[in-house]
Copies of this chain bind each other. A is one copy, B any other.
């Protein structure tokens, strides 16, 4: 996976403009994450300006974390415009499975062919696979590598998208190829659940990588890069306040060697 380092350099050089329609909780978090990795974020949701924004954007990230009827309208309009303007969409179905509104909104957005990548946790993707389960809020409790693989393949094939499924081990698949992304996670395990928006950071920076590498490689690079960043931050910070600060520092400092050292990407299929 030597190309991941080059992908990071591409993001820094090209500074892709990533348009985000995201949740209120992480707007600041994801804008700062995109800036730190070297991309250029824009947050905009007004239906009246979506055409102008998406025209100049290199990728669109739609995150349903604090959705309501007005924002759903904007998300759907953005997805349609992205199809028309041929811009790739990354969907983060935050909380799918926790409420019917979230599951249905995510599924409806998935029907749009501009959605090239879905990045979610186990519980969210379980819900999108047509199985129904209740996730405990946005945290997925269930962690089973084998079921995770099947679910990710199922969602990818069913919706014709690249799936990035994050958890202790991450899986990325386009329905044919399947990759796992792992780290030793010793330091990470305790602190990683104590900062909000880490999954949202992954989908935001995946938008930047998809802009320079396309859906499959972009999702692999986005998830692998963030896993390395989180590892490096957790080595320096054992508490959530400091860990949060170090995430931006490491998004800024990360390079191909650090990713190779901290993360193992395996091709399973």
A77 at the interface (CB under 8 A from B): no
Chain A 11-44 interface mask (CB, 8 Å, partner B; 1/0):
0000101000001111111011001100011111
Nearest-Cβ distance from residue A78 to partner chain B, whole angstroms: 13
B42–A137 CB distance below 8 A: yes
A106 at the interface (CB under 8 A from B): no
A48 at the interface (CB under 8 A from B): yes
A24–B40 CB distance below 8 A: no
A249–B253 CB distance below 8 A: no
- Chief secondary structure at chain A's binding surface: helix
A136 at the interface (CB under 8 A from B): yes
In the complex, residue of chain B having the shortest beta-carbon distance to the beta carbon of A138: B42
Interface size on A, residues (CB 8 A): 62
Q: Which residues of B sit under 8 angstroms from A102, Cβ to Cβ? A: 49
Q: Which residues of B sit under 8 angstroms from A193, Cβ to Cβ? A: 35
* A241 interface neighbour in B23, B66, B137, B249, Cβ under 8 Å: B249
* A99 interface neighbour in B44, B101, B239, Cβ under 8 Å: B44
In the complex, residue of chain B having the shortest beta-carbon distance to the beta carbon of A134: B56
Q: Which residues of B sit under 8 angstroms from A134, Cβ to Cβ? A: 56
Q: Which residues of B sit under 8 angstroms from A246, Cβ to Cβ? A: 241
A244–B248 CB distance below 8 A: yes
A240 at the interface (CB under 8 A from B): yes
Bound-state Cα–Cα, A253 to B240, Å: 10
Bound-state Cα–Cα, A263 to B17, Å: 32
A139 at the interface (CB under 8 A from B): yes
Residues of chain A having any CB pair with chain B under 8 Å: 15, 17, 23-29, 31-32, 35-36, 40-49, 52-53, 56, 65-70, 95, 98-102, 134, 136-139, 191, 193-197, 239-242, 244-249, 251-253
- Besides A45-B66, A48-B101, A49-B101, 8 other CB < 8 A contacts? A32-B240, A35-B193, A35-B195, A36-B194, A42-B137, A49-B102, A68-B70, A239-B249
Closest 4 CB pairs of A and B: A241-B248, A52-B99, A239-B249, A46-B68
